[in-house]
């Protein structure tokens, strides 16, 4: 079945550093979604991407829909302590009623 490979699994960075994470798939996706989960909370949608090559920003976050439609990247610039959490990528399954999820990238920021 479809799988999303998300890397790195975890990151430990200093406040102010830039962060980059990615998600790859063995099959094509028509939509890529990036979520963030704060500790003890449900995931919240950060960015949605709908077109190959699309580059979309949300504040200090920038995500790109890969040209091959098999990957996506999320960058965070000038990290701050509140960026701590788990970042998930996701894409719709065949009938668009379900999402396929990556296993997440856990981000820790040292102030």
Only segment of 12-20, 34-42, 67-75, 76-84 that touches other proteins (CB under 8 A): 34-42
From 12, 41, 59, 82, residue interacting with other proteins (rule: CB under 8 A): 41
Q: Which residues of 68-93 are buried (b: 16+ CB within 10 A; e: fewer)?
A: ebbbbbbbbeebeeebbbbbbbbbbe
Residues forming contacts to other proteins in the complex (CB under 8 A) are 30-31, 33, 35, 39-45, 47-48, 50, 56, 86, 88, 92, 96-99, 101, 103-104, 106
């Amino acid at each position: 079945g479809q799988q999303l490979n998300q890397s790195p699994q975890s990151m430990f960075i200093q406040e102010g550093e830039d962060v980059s994470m990615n998600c790859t798939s063995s099959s094509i996706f028509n939509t890529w979604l990036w979520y963030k989960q704060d500790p003890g909370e449900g995931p919240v949608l950060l960015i949605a991407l709908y077109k190959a090559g699309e580059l979309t920003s949300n504040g200090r976050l920038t995500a790109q829909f890969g040209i091959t439609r098999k990957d996506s990247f999320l960058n965070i610039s000038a990290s701050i302590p509140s960026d701590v959490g788990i970042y998930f990528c996701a894409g719709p399954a065949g009938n668009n009623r379900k999402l396929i999820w990556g296993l997440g990238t856990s981000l820790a920021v040292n102030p």
